[in-house]
Amino acid sequence: MTISIINAVQSTQIFLGLFILVLLITLRKKPIFDGLSINTTQELKGFAILAIFFAHIGYFLVSDTRFLFPLSIAAGVGVNLFLMLSGYGLVISSLSKPLSIIQFYKRRLLKIYSPFWLAFLIFLGLDFFILGKAYSFTYIWQSLIGFFPSANSSDINSPFWYFTLIVAYYLVFPLVFWRKQPWVSAIILYLAGYFFLRWEPTEMHKVIWLYEVHILAFPLGVLLGSLVTKYKGSLFQAKVNTIWGKITRRNWLNIIGYCIFVLFLSGLVVYTAYYSNIEGTRWQEEYTSIITCLALIILFSIKKIESRLFYWFGFFSYEVYLLHWPILSRFDIFYSWAPAWLATVLYLLFFLGVSWLVKKIINKINP
């Protein structure tokens, strides 16, 4: 379903103004320097899911790609951010709370499969009863195990290609994770992905190009987790805290230096997101996206304020990912009658509410 947009530029300006206003209202001062903490990673996930959400609307849903530009240009960055943060989070949790391989599969896989199964069954029912669309038994059982070898309109949810990739990483991670030297695990994971791409299995030829532009992100997240845990609590961390303490003092030289660095990172994010090398080779596109991701991670880690808007979208980011595209593309609720800017606002609120409900149900089923 392609949705026609009237006054795309004006609608974008109105939405952008409202979005910036809400973003400013939800800003809070950070009480302490916490680096790449849980709160920071949640904010980054919020940024990532919003980037993907806006891109799916701007480039795949509506007829005029000017709608939501430039918010819509960073879908690849959003996916790479999710992969990096997943790798990072697995290292941090595996080092703080060691699990056996069986325990890892039982807890981690169940955590990602439970909401996925619920979303899949919901859309299976909606497609059948509302659209009269049925899927083959083979497609259903392959989907239930998380195998999606394509990403097009014939799928129940085309963004589920990402689910296959993340499940593969979750299956391999506990087998190669080395607690003493986690960075070795990052190298193994990258090599596994590299040789998988060189192998080019015919079953995956429809999505292999998507893997090519995201294969580096998860291993980099594992490497980042290894570095953070290695230096946390060390002399290096003490020096970082000392530098942060100096920056936070009301000294004009420190303030100017900090502002210049923040502006540099912000400019780097904007430049590499806009000039993303999407017309170049897969590797050029991926490296450019990775630079954007690393700049964002540093920027979010050193900023003195936090965004509750990004935080809450990050908290519900997985549920939003699972739910948003089929509803937008097949069961449009708002764009058919509301101005585009208002429909986008309503969808953001709608997906927050539905994601909260899904998380509530999953917590009841699997406490």
pLDDT along the chain (367 residues), means of 10: 87 97 93 80 97 96 94 95 96 90 92 96 95 94 95 92 96 93 94 90 89 95 88 50 56 77 94 90 91 95 91 97 96 93 97 96 83
pLDDT digits 0-9 by tens, 149-185: 999 988 999 999 999 999 999 999 999 999 888 899 9
- Tokens linked to 22: 């809400």
Q: Are 183 and 223 in contact (CB under 8 A)?
A: yes
| Kind plus residue range of the DSSP H or E element containing 355 | helix 340-365
Alpha carbon separation from 355 to 89, 112, 210, 344, 358 (Å, rounded): 21, 14, 26, 16, 5
- Tokens linked to 119: 């979303």
Q: Give the side-chain half-sphere CA count within 13 A for 107.
A: 12
Q: Is residue 2 part of a domain?
A: no
Q: Are 107 and 174 in contact (CB under 8 A)?
A: no
Alpha carbon separation from 214 to 36, 334, 338, 356, 363 (Å, rounded): 21, 32, 36, 29, 31
Alpha carbon separation from 177 to 29, 99, 113, 280, 291 (Å, rounded): 37, 11, 21, 34, 25
Q: Is residue 349 part of a domain?
A: yes
Which amino acid does the sequence have at 221? G
**Single pTM value for the model:** 0.93
- What pLDDT score was predicted for residue 234? 44
Q: Is residue 72 part of a domain?
A: yes
Q: Is the peptide bond before 201 cis (omega within 30 degrees of 0)?
A: no
| Kind plus residue range of the DSSP H or E element containing 305 | strand 305-307
Q: Give the side-chain half-sphere CA count within 13 A for 209.
A: 8
- What pLDDT score was predicted for residue 180? 87
| Kind plus residue range of the DSSP H or E element containing 313 | helix 308-315
Q: Report helix, strand or coil for 145.
A: coil
Q: Is residue 305 part of a domain?
A: yes
Q: Is residue 196 part of a domain?
A: yes
Residues in the chain, overall count = 367
Q: Is residue 1 part of a domain?
A: no
The tally of domains found in the chain comes to: 1
Residue in 322, 295, 293, 318 with CA at minimum distance from that of residue 76? 293
Q: Are 328 and 350 in contact (CB under 8 A)?
A: no
Alpha carbon separation from 194 to 51, 138, 242, 348 (Å, rounded): 27, 29, 40, 37
Q: Report helix, strand or coil for 307.
A: strand
The DSSP secondary-structure symbol of 140 reads H
Domain extent, residue 128, equals 8-365
Parallel/antiparallel/unpaired status of strands 305-307 and 27-29 = antiparallel
Which amino acid does the sequence have at 140? I
Alpha carbon 336 to chain centroid, angstroms: 28
Q: Is residue 324 part of a domain?
A: yes
In sequence order, the 6+-apart residues with CB closer than 8 A to the CB of 171 are 105, 109
Residue in 345, 350, 362, 361 with CA at minimum distance from that of residue 324? 350
Q: Is residue 84 part of a domain?
A: yes
Helices 308-315 and 317-330: crossing angle in degrees, nearest 10, is: 80
pLDDT digits 0-9 by tens, 239-287: 555 555 555 556 667 778 888 999 999 999 999 999 998 888 888 999 9
- Tell me how far apart the alpha carbons of residues 366 and 348 are, in angstroms, rounded to a whole number: 26
Q: Give the side-chain half-sphere CA count within 13 A for 13.
A: 5
Alpha carbon separation from 55 to 65, 79, 124 (Å, rounded): 9, 11, 25
Q: Are 24 and 38 in contact (CB under 8 A)?
A: no
Strands of 6-153, DSSP E: 27-29
